Amino acid sequence: MKAMILAAGKGTRVRPITATLPKPMIPLIRKPVMEFLVEHLRNHGVRDIVVNTSHLAPLIENYFRDGDHFGVRMAYSFEGTLVDGELQGDALGSAGGMRKIQDFSGFFDETFAVLCGDALIDLDFAELLRFHKERNALVTIALRDVPREQVSKYGIVELAKDGRVVRFQEKPPVNEAKSTTANTGIYLFEPRIFDFIPAGVEFDIGSQLFPALVAHHERIFGLALPFHWLDIGSIPDFWEGTQLLLRNELPDFVLPGTEVRPGIHAGIHLSVKWDEVDIRGPVYIGSGTSIAPGARIIGPTVIGSNCVIESGAVLDQCILADYTRVSSVAALQQKIIFGTKCIDPSGKYLDIEEGQLGWIVDDARRHRQLSDAESELWEQVHSLY
């Protein structure tokens, strides 16, 4: 089985994180979501993966390169153009992206999987493939049961007894939904699918390809399997996903680093005196980070690599990107620090530079230079505290 990972989306709902990072590269405990997928595909015997890229393509391409260090072979289908030194995306849609790859090299010469690059899954592809072959399907959709009150967030699929798809409903109101089985955006296709995808135009799998297949009475099947499916489609999803992994609630996931104290996982090359820091797990600390005596850290928390946590700082359920400095007067509770943004789990955020908050949270590589107002406030907060 071959695979295609869809990685050309813009990720507007994960802003401000996706202003600098494409969605598949969003780190869950410092590891891009897409890396989990690549490893999972490899573990299910997939060797060759083509990824369509567009928005911030080089960040994906430079990370995975030819796939060699992940035990697979990878190639990229770039959808866009270089204009005045900047990459601009050309939307082809999911099916249009598949067609471009096929027209270029005929890559899809056997059953292949197509999946989004921004959802964490532990789907049993072997089981899905067995079902697909058994039914002699043209398409098999991986489905998952969702709570009835949530059906309007999903593409809902109605199945006949043998698993054949009878009907698609796109985000139906709760009272009109024919089932509670949702399309997860993970598909198996036969190469004959390209008979139904026009070349050179924007074409979508869910809203265009599937209706065409239904009209032609083609064999579309769906299989609902119990599996974890963590769509990192928004800041609250990113928050939830990270917490789930920290609490070790995803069976296949092993926390990186070494468990240095119960519930505390850490990388190497750290500057921490464990007995002088008040720290409660689950916490992951990246390599090269320093935590001064007197800091207080409450999990679930992720501290990136090369961070500086000063004495007296409080981190209560936070996710810090690499190279974050947290000053001694800072009290961060349920915050994501990413770039120059201080983000709430709800997605609301403050801009650290605009609020002149460099004296609270900053890039650890910057030489701290406080404005007069900031130093004055620093002094005052210190003296009053």
Nearer to other proteins, 129 or 377 (CB): 377
CA 97 to chain CA centroid, nearest Å: 20
Q: Which of 320, 332, 336, 364 binds other proteins (CB under 8 A)?
A: 332
Nearer to other proteins, 157 or 313 (CB): 313
278 binds other proteins (CB under 8 A): no
CA distances 320 to 285, 295, 342, 372, Å, are 10, 15, 10, 27
Per-residue string for binding with other proteins, 77-116, x by CB under 8 A? ----------------------------------------
Q: Which of 58, 71, 106, 355 binds other proteins (CB under 8 A)?
A: 355
369 binds other proteins (CB under 8 A): no
214 and 8 Cβ atoms separated by less than 8 Å: no
Q: Which stretch binds other proteins (CB under 8 A): 238-246, 252-260, 282-290, 377-385?
A: 377-385
Sorted by sequence, the CB contacts under 8 Å of residue 35 that are 6+ apart come out as 63, 64, 70
Q: Which of 47, 344, 345, 363 binds other proteins (CB under 8 A)?
A: 344
CA distance 190 to 233: 28
142 and 149 Cβ atoms separated by less than 8 Å: no
CA distance 53 to 260: 39
Shortest Å, Cβ 290 to other proteins: 21
CA distances 321 to 32, 63, 113, 118, 341, Å, are 13, 17, 32, 19, 10
The tally of CA atoms less than 13 A away on the side-chain side of residue 346 is: 4
Q: Which stretch binds other proteins (CB under 8 A): 72-80, 241-249, 297-305, 372-380?
A: 372-380
Shortest Å, Cβ 295 to other proteins: 14
Nearer to other proteins, 175 or 383 (CB): 383
Q: Which of 331, 365, 366, 369 binds other proteins (CB under 8 A)?
A: 331
CA distance 144 to 182: 5
Does residue 102 sit in helix, strand or coil?
Answer: helix
Q: Which of 38, 46, 232, 361 binds other proteins (CB under 8 A)?
A: 361
Per-residue string for binding with other proteins, 291-330, x by CB under 8 A? --------------------------------------xx
Token look-up 């289908």 returns: 77
Nearer to other proteins, 139 or 332 (CB): 332
Nearer to other proteins, 207 or 334 (CB): 334
Q: Which of 74, 141, 159, 342 binds other proteins (CB under 8 A)?
A: 342
CA distances 89 to 54, 57, 209, Å, are 5, 9, 22
Nearer to other proteins, 212 or 350 (CB): 350
Shortest Å, Cβ 339 to other proteins: 16
215 binds other proteins (CB under 8 A): no
Q: How many residues bind other proteins (CB under 8 A)?
A: 26
CA 30 to chain CA centroid, nearest Å: 11
Shortest Å, Cβ 354 to other proteins: 7
CA distance 283 to 77: 38
Shortest Å, Cβ 303 to other proteins: 17
371 binds other proteins (CB under 8 A): yes
Sorted by sequence, the CB contacts under 8 Å of residue 201 that are 6+ apart come out as 96
CA distance 178 to 170: 11
Token look-up 């955006």 returns: 185
Residue by residue, DSSP assigns 182-234 as: EEEEEEEE-GGGGGGS-TTS---IIIIIHHHHHHTT--EEEEE----EEE--S
Shortest Å, Cβ 308 to other proteins: 17
Shortest Å, Cβ 192 to other proteins: 53
Nearer to other proteins, 85 or 385 (CB): 385
Ramachandran assignment for 118, one of left (phi > 0), alpha (psi -120 to 50 degrees), beta (any other): alpha
Residue by residue, DSSP assigns 61-74 as: HHHHTTSGGGTSEE
Give the residues lining the site for other proteins (CB under 8 A). Answer: 329-333, 335, 342, 344, 348, 350, 354-357, 359-361, 371, 373-374, 376-377, 380-381, 384-385
